[in-house]
Amino acid sequence: MKIIEFYQTSQKPVLSLEIFPPQASYPVESIFETIEELKDLRMDYISVTYGAGGSTRDRTVEIASGIKRDFGIETLAHLTCMAHSRQEVDKILETLWEEGIRNIMALRGDPPADDEKLDSAHREYHYARELIEDARQKADFGIAAAAYPEGHPECRSLGDDLLYLKQKVDAGVDVLITQFFFDNRKFLDFVDRALRIGLTCPIVPGVMPVLNAKQIGRMLSLSGASVTAELRRLLDKYGDQPEDMKKAGIEYASRQLEDLLINRVPGIHLYTMNKSREIKEIAANAGL
């Protein structure tokens, strides 16, 4: 089933979760234990991330197909293209299709940190749009892509970023899922601007609970997402108190979801960080 069908037919906001493959030193079964703990949420689909340069490619495929086979939950397999040739991408897409995976999250991605040879002149892919075009030609995949409510960190302006986003959608995107943000007004303003330039596909807010102050600090530096005054106060107050920070982060995320639902978003995409207990509590607080 293509994930766009959930947004077209569901009478309630679509709930999706994002998980990431465990490190190579951990057994892959550990992620299925997490899914077992989360399945009571009755999520519509689960997205499975893909490491920089394809570092978790095999595990992404294994986990996505395993979730669909063993839990009966639709999956969205992430696929990045920057570090791959077109021949490699063609083979990956073929493998995904053979494994019964019908939805991909098409991303440009980043090169591996230790790959100094991957300069622009030697890449076969430069933009996610090119991957979207190839996937659309390869098979009848459902295709999701990333959107950035505050603009892509490498883009000069939000206006330019929206135009590039429209190019991706015109190339064959069914659903847009946003990068995490902490100020709902920025997301709602972004949706309004997207509608004004003719973007009519579902734009799904991606929400990441702040459960660990150090972890979110690194993510903020990479993403360019802004922090609200309220969240900054929480980080300053509880940054050195892990359990209190976790409680405050759960409360903040719960209220963020409640407000998004009041504003009639098409769905909620929760970045779980593979934390089942906390995600279940947030979903329950928000009435999901």
Smallest CA-to-CA distance from 79 within 43, 55, 100, 99 is with 55
Rg (CA), the chain: 18
Catalytic, 18? Answer: yes
C-beta of residue 234 within 8 angstroms of C-beta of residue 210: yes
Provide φ and ψ at 106, rounded to 5°: -90, 115
Determine which one of 18, 74, 130, 150 is catalytic.
Answer: 18
- In a 3-state reduction of DSSP, which class is residue 80? strand
Q: How far is CA 46 from CA 16, 78, 201, in A?
A: 6, 11, 19
DSSP 22-60: PPTTS-THHHHHHHHHHGGG--SEEEE---GGGTTHHHH
Residues 6+ apart with CB under 8 A from 220: 227
Residue 183 is given by DSSP the state -
Identify the helix (H) or strand (E) that includes residue 142.
strand 142-147
Annotated catalytic residues are 18
